[in-house]
Structure 1
Amino acid sequence: MESTLDQVHINFDAASLHTLNIALALVMFGIALEIKWSDFRQISQKPQWVLVGVLSQFLVLPAITFVLVWAVKPMPGLALGMMLVAACPGGNVSNFMTHLARGNSALSVTLTAIATMCAVFMTPLNLRFWAGMYPPAAEILEKVAIDPLEMARLVALLLAVPLIFGMLFNHWFPALSKRLSSFFKIGSLLFFAVLVVLALAKNWGIFLEYIHYVLFLVLLHNALAFGNGYGLARLFGLKRKETKTITLETGIQNSGLGLLLIFLFFDGLGSMALITAFWGIWHLISGTGLALLWSRAKEDSGL
């Protein structure tokens, strides 16, 4: 069954890959239009907030994922897919969900910016480190011979460059950025959502046939990601707004980037693509549900 799952061919051609590249860059540019240098100054007064967010995303989540993989022992491709998701930075929609949950929006966009820059180095580093310590996944890495520098270059082009350009554009043209930000935020997310829906529609039969292999893993992994963010924030004594923000930033991963890396570096390995794609669907459902729960909870509810 392992070989069958790995040989599953996801209908995702070169044109779709190119479109996904554009979508990821546009989403990041749109987010950057809302980031002000004053946000960094404000957050710099509370550096522990950023420290907890970065630790949660790039240290604790990959470590928890490694422990989960050792405990559950999924197929090697599924294990590697889980590690790749954990190695990616927070997902772009976390900013919207933080706003919906009445979290700290300034912290959310700041963490997005910092995590994006960190991901240039931390995504390939975490994938190489944690997967290298799990022999079944390490075997796949050896076969594909990934160049970490090439992966870092791609992450920089897709995420860091649009982020920097967006922030510079906002700095130079603040009035225009304010008018464009709503369009880009909604338009780029809709564009990305339509792309996901179309990709899912093209692969609906495959999705239904193999969903039972990844359903439990994704639900458990995503729950642990949210729990990690929440627990670490509470452990460090963060207040309610910041706790919600760290939780969402950790539980919403950039699975779009993960899929792109799978198709470019792993030749679209079926098991990796399936679990990453379902992550991309499920974290939107779970994240939205959690954000709505928090949006309706009273401030003194303790949630």
Structure 2
Amino acid sequence: MDSALTAIGLPVALGIIMFGLGLDLTPEDFKRVGRQPKAAVIALVCQLALLPLICFGLVVALDLEPLLGIGMMLLAASPGGTTAALFSHLFRGDVALNISLTAINSLVAIITLPLITGLAISYYGRNDELAMPLVEVIQVFAIILVPVGIGMLVRARRTAFAQRMDKPVRIASAVILAVMVLGVMLAERANITDYLAQIGAVAALFCATSLVVGYLVPKVFGVPGPQAIASSMEIGVHNATLAIYIAVEVLGETKASVPAAVYAIIMFVFAALWGSFVSRRESTPAERPAPANV
């Protein structure tokens, strides 16, 4: 990818997206999770432990080449994207839970993302070529967390402005992600057909599994419908922008960003279809027995 895009465009893109998250976030969101931790804990366990294991199983079963496999694991380790809250809103999920989960998971990912990605690098025996240097990882998460803090400060002091900016920032985030996906595709245009053939099935299976697991597991544990929908969107809609940035800037491999770019396209389609299905399912009243004839 073009050096200007990676050196300037990617950090700015991440900053705008995470600033938008901060505009939606208040200290009350964190307190709410503390008061009602069940849904949040189940969603985080699914996202941080269960889904990376599922992704690894898919990567091994479908025998992905190393850089694409590492890219898939990097994506699996990435926190939920800010777009998850938008899908949750569209399909009657608990948007406050989405915002809280994205913020918490972005913090936890400081540890889990380099750990999971490092294990993938070791699995493929690429330690001599690829690394997740601590200093660079900290820099990446500074790009994430500082804008979130600024956004929260703006929300606290200029609430009306934050509310007005909510929609424009969300639109900007979607446009930025689209531009980044296009940049990856153009940078790898010579091999993109082969990559899509290799990664398309894995990305689609992982996305579908993420959405379904994110909904069904909370439901099994008695989590209400709106929170289960929020969990599904949080787990299925990853921060592909972050995964692309780390692949290009930290690992120095544009090829490793291809899984995130492909997933970004698939997740919008799958999330819309799945959200439509589960929202109808949750809104359909339970069948009542017919009244007995007297």
Same fold by TM (over 0.5)? yes
Residue identity matched to 1:64: I
Give me the whole-angstrom Cα distance separating, in 2, the residues matched to 1:200 and 1:152. 25
- Paired residue for 2:127? 141
Give me the whole-angstrom Cα distance separating, in 2, the residues matched to 1:192 and 1:39. 26
Percent identical pairs in the alignment equals 26
Q: 1:14-53, CA deviations, whole angstroms, 9 ceiling, x for partnerless residues?
A: 1221212211210111121111222333332211121112
In the superposition, the TM-score normalised over structure 2's length comes to 0.87
Q: Helix, strand or coil: the match of 1:91? A: coil
Q: Structure 1 residue 93: deviation in Å?
A: 0.9
Give me the whole-angstrom Cα distance separating, in 1, the residues matched to 2:161 and 2:102. 22
Residue identity matched to 1:261: I
| Contact 2:77 2:116 (C-alpha < 8 Å) held by counterparts | yes
Q: Structure 1 residue 62: deviation in Å?
A: 1.2
- Paired residue for 2:148? 163
Highest CA radius of gyration, 1 or 2? 2
Give me the whole-angstrom Cα distance separating, in 2, the residues matched to 1:33 and 1:231. 30
| Contact 2:44 2:101 (C-alpha < 8 Å) held by counterparts | yes
Task: Kindly tell me the number of residue pairs found equivalent between the two proteins.
Answer: 285
- Paired residue for 1:106? 96
2:109 matched to 1:95?
no
| Contact 1:88 1:119 (C-alpha < 8 Å) held by counterparts | yes
| Contact 1:94 1:248 (C-alpha < 8 Å) held by counterparts | yes
Distance verdict in 2 for CA 1:141–1:224, change over 3 Å: farther
Structure 1: unaligned runs, 5 residues or longer:
1-11
Distance verdict in 2 for CA 1:298–1:228, change over 3 Å: closer
- Paired residue for 1:276? 260
- Paired residue for 1:15? 4
Q: 1:150-208, CA deviations, whole angstroms, 9 ceiling, x for partnerless residues?
A: 34313312211111111122112222222222322223333433443465466556433
Residue identity matched to 1:283: M
Give me the whole-angstrom Cα distance separating, in 2, the residues matched to 1:217 and 1:194. 23
Equivalent runs, 1:5-44 vs 2, <5 Å? 12-17=1-6, 18-44=8-34
Distance verdict in 2 for CA 1:126–1:180, change over 3 Å: same
Residue identity matched to 2:170: K
Q: What do you get for the CA RMSD once the two structures are aligned?
A: 2.3
| Contact 2:83 2:170 (C-alpha < 8 Å) held by counterparts | no
Give me the whole-angstrom Cα distance separating, in 1, the residues matched to 2:281 and 2:145. 35
- Paired residue for 1:9? none
In the superposition, the TM-score normalised over structure 1's length comes to 0.85
Structure 2: unaligned runs, 5 residues or longer:
287-294
| Contact 2:185 2:258 (C-alpha < 8 Å) held by counterparts | no
Residue identity matched to 1:140: R
Give me the whole-angstrom Cα distance separating, in 2, the residues matched to 1:74 and 1:191. 28
Residue identity matched to 1:32: G
| Contact 1:90 1:250 (C-alpha < 8 Å) held by counterparts | yes
Q: Helix, strand or coil: the match of 2:235? A: helix
Residue identity matched to 2:4: A
Q: Structure 1 residue 259: deviation in Å?
A: 1.2
Q: 1:125 aligns with which of 110, 115, 134?
A: 115
